[in-house]
């Protein structure tokens, strides 16, 4: 419940709750409002809808190989000319000497060097991957990519493909500054404009290179230009779904000579910009509070204003410091963890693709991020526990590592840890069908032998169930490739079939993929094989919980289910719009599932346990699955 002091914000709140995207006018209304707390609360609501209580960070290192730049952007306090006494150039060996095995990501950007050869850049990425295979390389802004393309007379595609081949994972989001021709002419007229920046990121996305996006604000731009910037990013994200995160960057005036009313942006403006970014960029999963520029204190507040990422340890950052940022050069990982815990969030150490690696909080309940867990969670109040929401496979990974105390976990992940966890009386069960675990195929199932199947990167159990049916029952020999299968942007035409699960599978329900004429509900195939329901996920708790604590949780779950199914099922409009289904269709879907584990369910789990053991014994199956991200 938000008590709006500015009533103009109420229609915006209604749109957000209905899953309707905000317009340019809404953006201007938000920037024109003094009701900062209400804007923050709306952003925090959307943040929690997207990622629950998680706040991400990465153990990373910033490298700027040179500060020599052929350009002289007015606002840049970092670049110098070759003859400057402050000029520096790093060799690849010097770059390698700054890395270590603890790092998960290296972030490389720098000046546009007049003399370096193309081999230097490709060699840099290659050598990093050779010496530190675990480190993911995020390198070269669109401005640098454009510079390489012109200097080395190669197309953008060729530049990006060669870098990808060398080991580049993602592009950083810088270089765009603000998408305004007026500002570009005034502050960085030699640099690429919005059109070229967007074009380069679009090409990167088409080549499977994800990227980030930034917006430099707090200099000479107007609120209209900020909102336009956000809308352009949202449009490209609709087309490509290739952006991982958005980072609003507060301008650091330093010695740039750009005269401001106040030297630094105000805390209010920073928080408002983070919140408005969260609200307008409804198709971005992550909004970053870049603590280097914001200060640690403000970044902490931003975690309740729509931001769900603190970037990382950022060892060795120079650009912001040369411009006068006041935060320490290297914020210890522990400090980041404390900031996040103090904001009552879950610190999540991640990799470059936002896959969670470790959680740094106690008392965590795991929740699969699909609508089918709503009957449990809509009315559930787990006092003193924080909820961590993720797709089944990510959640399963953290569960197996021991970070999850209780929760609804994919069946095969539970089977891996049966000795440490106790089964409760609840789960997600498909009876004669499930509707949200579907194999789409170009050919009838009987003809799938020797084919290649794309497998959703979110599945644990459904993949094993598919293997059981196709390999053990049908006797097929198949190849699998893990893919991000998204309703929003999916190019699966080169596969013979694909397996989609959860909310994405539901989004396909009324919009079947044209080329894939045949679709198979895996719960239905299991039922036809074993005459039993199939248990996809189970509620489980750590063995350390006492009998009475387990009973208490069982009771909470039972009450929650009863409340949910008692009378008419009420689904928030936000979910309906997200899933592209009517409330009747979602109610039918949820009513069709079973949530209690009874005799048949236990029998089915026992049969599947044996099958799963058989599958694990077969090395071939593992060899045939290519993990690609
Ligand atoms: S902003 Fe980038 S391109 Fe412009 S002068 Fe600085 S380093 Fe060079």
pLDDT in tens, 70-124: 998 877 888 999 999 999 999 999 999 999 888 999 999 999 999 999 999 999 9
Residue nearest to atom 4 of ligand 1 (CA): 73
User: Hey, what domains does the chain have and what are their CATH numbers?
Assistant: 28-358 (3.20.20.70), 362-429+535-581+593-603 (3.40.190.10), 437-533+604-626 (3.40.190.10)
pLDDT digits (tens, 9 = 90+) for 549-586: 888 899 999 999 999 999 888 888 888 888 888 989 99
Q: How sure is the predictor about 259, in pLDDT bands with cuts at 50, 70 and 90? A: low
Calculate mean pLDDT across residues 530-543. Answer: 97
Residue 328 has pLDDT above 50, yes or no: no
Atom of ligand 1 nearest to the CA of 110: 7
Q: State the distance from the centre of ligand 1 to the C-alpha of 409, rounded, in angstroms.
A: 48
What residues have CB less than 8 Å from 584, skipping those under 6 apart? none
Residue 358 three-state SS: strand
Is it the case that residue 592 has pLDDT exceeding 80? Answer: yes
Give how far the C-alpha of residue 348 lies from the chain's centroid of Cα atoms, to the nearest Å. 12
For residue 4, count other CB atoms closer than 10 A to its CB.
17
Among 63, 70, 73, 193, say which to mutate for ligand 1: greatest number of ligand atoms within 8 Å of CB.
73
Q: In what order do the strands lie in the sheet with 286-287?
A: 60-63, 105-108, 136-139, 168-171, 210-217, 243-250, 286-287
CA distance 562 to 554: 12
* pLDDT confidence band for 503 (50 / 70 / 90): very high
Closest ligand 1 atom number to CA of residue 67: 7
629 pLDDT tier (thresholds 50, 70, 90): very low
Task: Using alpha carbons, list the distances in angstroms from residue 187 to 71, 266, 477, 578.
Answer: 12, 21, 60, 40
Q: What pLDDT is recorded for position 488?
A: 63
- Stretch 509-527: mean pLDDT, rounded? 93
pLDDT at 329 over 50: no
**Is residue 256 very low, low, confident or very high in pLDDT (cuts 50, 70, 90)?**
low
Strand partners, 452: 479
Which are the contacts of 591, defined by CB distance < 8 A and separation ≥ 6? 565, 569
Distance 78 CA to ligand 1 centre (A): 7
Q: How far is the CA of 72 from the centre of ligand 1 (A)?
A: 6
> 211: which residues sit within 8 A by CB, 6+ positions away?
170, 171, 172, 173, 201, 204, 205, 242, 243, 244
**179 neighbors 232 (Cβ within 8 angstroms):** yes
Encoding tokens for residue 596?
């209690």
- List pocket residues of ligand 1, CB cut-off 6 Å: 69, 71-73, 76, 78-79, 111-112, 143, 188, 191
Res. 323: pLDDT tops 70: no
Query: What mean pLDDT is predicted for residues 429-454?
Result: 96
> How far apart are the C-alpha atoms of 299 and 56, rounded to whole Å?
13
Picking from 276, 274, 180, the residue whose alpha carbon sits closest to that of residue 219 is 180
Contact 159, 148 (CB under 8 A): yes
Residue 572: the pLDDT is 82
SS3 category, 396:
helix
Mean pLDDT within 357-366 = 92
Which tokens is 62 given?
Answer: 């910033």
pLDDT-derived band at 377, boundaries 50, 70, 90: very high
Rounded mean pLDDT of 438-443? 97
Residue with tokens 């867990």: 373
Asked if pLDDT for residue 494 goes beyond 60, the answer is yes
Report the separation in Å between the CA atom of 46 and the middle of ligand 1, taken as the mean of its atom positions.
35
Rg (CA), the chain: 25
Q: What is the pLDDT of residue 485?
A: 81
Alpha-helix runs per DSSP H in 295-419? 296-302, 319-322, 333-342, 374-377, 392-400, 411-416
As given in the structure block, the two tokens for residue 358 are 């470790």
Which pLDDT tens digit goes with each residue over 23-82?
999 999 999 999 999 999 999 999 998 888 999 999 999 999 999 999 988 778 889 999
Tell me the angle at which helices 267-280 and 36-51 cross, rounded to the nearest 10 degrees.
Answer: 50
Of 574 and 137, more confident: 137
Q: Do residues 534 and 612 make contact, with C-beta atoms less than 8 angstroms apart?
A: no
Q: Are 162 and 126 in contact (CB under 8 A)?
A: no
Residue 38 CA to ligand 1 centre (angstroms): 37
Q: What is the pLDDT of residue 360?
A: 94
Name which residue sits closest to atom 2 of ligand 1, judged by CA: 111
């Amino acid at each position: 419940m938000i008590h709006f002091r500015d009533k103009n914000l109420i229609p915006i709140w209604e749109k957000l709750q209905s899953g309707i995207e905000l317009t340019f006018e809404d953006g201007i209304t938000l920037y024109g409002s003094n009701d900062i707390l209400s804007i923050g609360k709306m952003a925090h609501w959307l943040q929690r809808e997207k990622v629950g209580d998680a706040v991400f960070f990465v153990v990373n290192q910033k490298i700027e190989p040179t500060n020599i730049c052929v350009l002289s952007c007015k606002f840049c306090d970092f670049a110098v000319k070759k003859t400057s006494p402050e000029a520096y150039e790093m060799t690849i060996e010097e770059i390698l000497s700054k890395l270590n095995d603890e790092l998960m990501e290296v972030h490389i950007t720098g000046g546009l060097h007049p003399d370096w050869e193309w081999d230097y850049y490709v060699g840099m990425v290659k050598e990093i991957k050779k010496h530190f295979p675990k480190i993911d390389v995020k390198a070269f802004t669109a401005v640098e990519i454009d510079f390489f393309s012109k200097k080395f007379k190669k197309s953008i595609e060729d530049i990006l493909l060669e870098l990808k081949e060398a080991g580049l994972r993602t592009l950083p989001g810088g270089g765009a500054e603000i998408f305004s021709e007026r500002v570009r002419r005034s502050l960085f007229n030699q640099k690429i404009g919005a059109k070229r920046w967007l074009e380069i990121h679009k090409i990167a996305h088409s080549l499977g290179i994800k990227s980030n996006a930034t917006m430099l604000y707090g200099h000479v731009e107007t609120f209209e230009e900020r909102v336009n910037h956000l809308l352009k990013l949202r449009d490209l994200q609709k087309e490509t779904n290739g952006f991982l995160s958005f980072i609003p960057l507060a301008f650091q005036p330093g010695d740039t000579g750009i005269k401001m009313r106040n030297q630094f942006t105000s805390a209010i403006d920073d928080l408002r910009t983070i919140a408005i970014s969260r609200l307008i960029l409804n198709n971005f999963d992550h909004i970053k509070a870049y603590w280097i520029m914001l200060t640690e204190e403000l970044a902490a507040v931003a975690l309740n204003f729509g931001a769900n990422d603190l970037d990382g340890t950022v060892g060795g950052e120079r650009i912001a410091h040369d411009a006068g940022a006041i935060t320490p050069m290297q914020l210890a990982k522990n400090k980041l963890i404390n900031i996040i815990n103090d904001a009552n969030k879950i610190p999540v150490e991640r990799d470059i693709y936002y896959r969670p690696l470790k959680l740094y909080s106690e008392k965590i309940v795991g929740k699969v991020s699909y609508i089918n867990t709503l009957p449990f969670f809509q009315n559930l109040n787990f006092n003193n526990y924080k909820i961590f929401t993720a797709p089944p496979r990510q959640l399963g990974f953290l569960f197996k590592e021991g970070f999850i105390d209780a929760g609804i976990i994919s069946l095969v992940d539970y089977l891996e840890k049966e000795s440490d966890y106790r089964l409760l009386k609840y789960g997600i069960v498909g009876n004669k069908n499930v509707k949200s675990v579907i194999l789409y195929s170009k050919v009838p199932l009987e003809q799938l032998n020797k084919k290649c199947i794309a497998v959703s990167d979110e599945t644990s159990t459904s993949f094993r169930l598919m293997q059981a049916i196709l390999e053990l029952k049908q006797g097929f020999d198949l190849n699998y490739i893990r893919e991000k299968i998204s309703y929003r942007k999916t190019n699966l035409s080169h596969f013979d079939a694909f397996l989609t699960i959860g909310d994405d599978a539901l989004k396909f329900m009324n919009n079947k993929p044209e080329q894939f004429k045949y679709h198979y509900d895996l719960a239905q195939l299991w039922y036809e094989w074993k005459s039993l329901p199939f248990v996809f996920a189970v509620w489980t708790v750590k063995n350390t919980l006492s009998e009475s604590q387990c009973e208490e949780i069982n009771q909470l779950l039972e009450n929650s289910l009863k409340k949910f199914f008692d009378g008419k099922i009420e689904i928030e409009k936000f979910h309906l719009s997200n899933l592209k289904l009517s409330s009747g269709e979602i109610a039918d879907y949820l009513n069709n599932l079973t949530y209690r584990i009874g005799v048949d369910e236990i029998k089915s789990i026992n049969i599947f346990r044996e099958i799963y053991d058989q599958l694990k014994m077969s090395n071939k199956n593992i060899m045939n699955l290519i993990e690609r991200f």
